[in-house]
Amino acid sequence: MIGCDPMNSRYSRATQQLKKHNIRLSNRRLKVLECLCNKLDHPTADQIFVNLHKEVPSLSKTTIYNTLHTLVEIGLVRTLNIEANKTRYDIITEDHGHFGCQTCGRIFNVNIELESLAKGELSGFNIWERNLYFKGICQKCLLNKNKNREVVY
């Protein structure tokens, strides 16, 4: 696996932010960041661990958790609690929602502007974070299911 494209703007912005916060750009941290920037969509800590283990076998899970916590702390990453007892991490911190397919397990991004929701009812409240998620079956899985049906009957 080749490292995160250095031209990846999200990655480079993130490293800048780390510098700003006086957090060292250690190899391990950059690997975790890289993993979040690459194809992996909303990975769990364990998925990051498995993914990086081939490349960096000595990387510990504790370091992954430590890194994720610091990334969350400085606002470069946000956590998703869509499934019970499984925290997922999202490098995209801009306002958006999610769809979790209960068949294939994938988490899709959903473009939604959440900023304006519930303004009235929550006036007087200090809102730090907005999350919207849907659960169901994605298009692809629905099509597959129908295909299988046709074959079976």
Instruction: Give the binding site for a second copy (CB under 8 A).
Output: 79, 81-85, 87, 97, 99, 102, 110-112, 114, 117-118, 121-122, 124-139, 142
27 binds, among Zn ion, Mn ion, DNA, none (CB under 5 to 8 A by kind): DNA
Element (H, E) at 86: strand 86-90
23 lies in the binding site for DNA (CB under 7 A): yes
Can you tell me the distance from the alpha carbon of 105 to that of 120, in angstroms, rounded to the nearest whole number?
A: 35
Residue 110's DSSP bridge partners are 97
What amino acid is encoded at 56 in this protein?
Answer: V
Stretch that binds DNA, among 41-49, 96-104, 111-119, 131-139 (CB under 7 A): 41-49
What is the spatial distance between Cα 32 and Cα 61, in angstroms, rounded to a whole number?
11
- 59 contact, one of a second copy, DNA, Mn ion, none, CB 5-8 Å limit per kind: DNA
Supply angle C-alpha 94, 98, 103, rounded to 5: 155
What does the binding site for Zn ion look like in residue numbers (CB under 5 A)? 101, 103-104, 138, 141
